[in-house]
Amino acid sequence: MSTLVNPLDESSRDRLSPAPRLDGLEGKTLALLDISKPRGKEFLDRLEQLLKERYGVSRIVREVKPTYTKPAPGALLERLGFVDGVIEALAD
């Protein structure tokens, strides 16, 4: 019989459930988050146009992460607290 020391992370973590899915896009406020990869703006400009023209999204908020290599700063996420949904753009 041998006793082993657990080498894994044993921190307890809260499980978060995904936010409820939107029932549709009509009249919603969406944020488009550019993670600052090359050509993200072009992609999101077109997406913004389509979301408004085809899906009746009432308002688009645009934000840009300072760098795609790190998580978004808390202040940026807080600024997006009021929107109905966020679309994140990878681009390249």
Partner 1 sequence: MLIAGDQAPDFSLPRLDGTDWGLEAAAGGPLLLVFIETDCPTCRLTIPYLKRLAEALGPDGHRVVAVSQDGGQETRELVEAYDVSFPVLLDTDLDVSRSYDPPSVPALFLVGEGGRIELSEVGFHKGDLNSAAEKMLSSLGLPVRTVADPDDGAPAMKPGCTSRHLEPVMAVGSVDVSDEVSGEVSGEVPGEMSDEASGEPLPEPIDLLPERAPRASRLTLADDEDPYEYCMSAGFSPFLPVVPPTAERVDTFLAGVPHPPDRVVGLVPPCYGPATIEKIAANAVMAGCKPEYMEVLIPVIRAACDERFNLHGVQATTHSATPLIILSGPAAARLGFASGAGVFGNVARANSSVGRALQLVMTNLGGALPGEIDMSALGNPGRFSYCVAENHEESPWEPLHVELGFGEDESTVTLFAAGGLTEVSEHTARTGAGVLRTIAATLSMVWSWRQCGRVDAVVVLCPEHAATLSSDGFTKSDARDFLFEHTGVPLRAFDHEGTEGTQARDSYEEVLIDGEPHYRKFADPSQIRIIVAGGTAGKFSAVMGGWLAGAEGSQTVTYPVKW
Tokens 């997006």 label which residue? 80
Collapse the DSSP code of 25 into the 3-class scheme (helix H, G, I; strand E, B; otherwise coil) and give the result.
coil
String marking each residue 42-61 x if it binds partner 1 according to CB under 8 A: -------------------x
Query: What's the chain's Rg over C-alpha atoms?
Result: 19
Within 18-37, the residues that bind partner 1 by CB under 8 A are 19
Instruction: Kindly determine how many residues on this chain lie close enough to bind partner 1 according to the rule CB under 8 A.
Output: 30
Q: Which phi and psi (to 5°) does residue 91 adopt? A: 60, -145
67 binds partner 1 (CB under 8 A): yes
> Residue 6 or residue 54: which is nearer to partner 1 going by CB?
6
Closest to 52 in 3D by CA, of 30, 35, 21? 30
Give bridge partners of residue 62 from the DSSP assignment: 32
- In the complex, the residues that contact partner 1 under the rule CB under 8 A are 1-11, 14, 16-17, 19, 38-39, 61, 63, 66-67, 69-71, 74-75, 78-79, 81-82
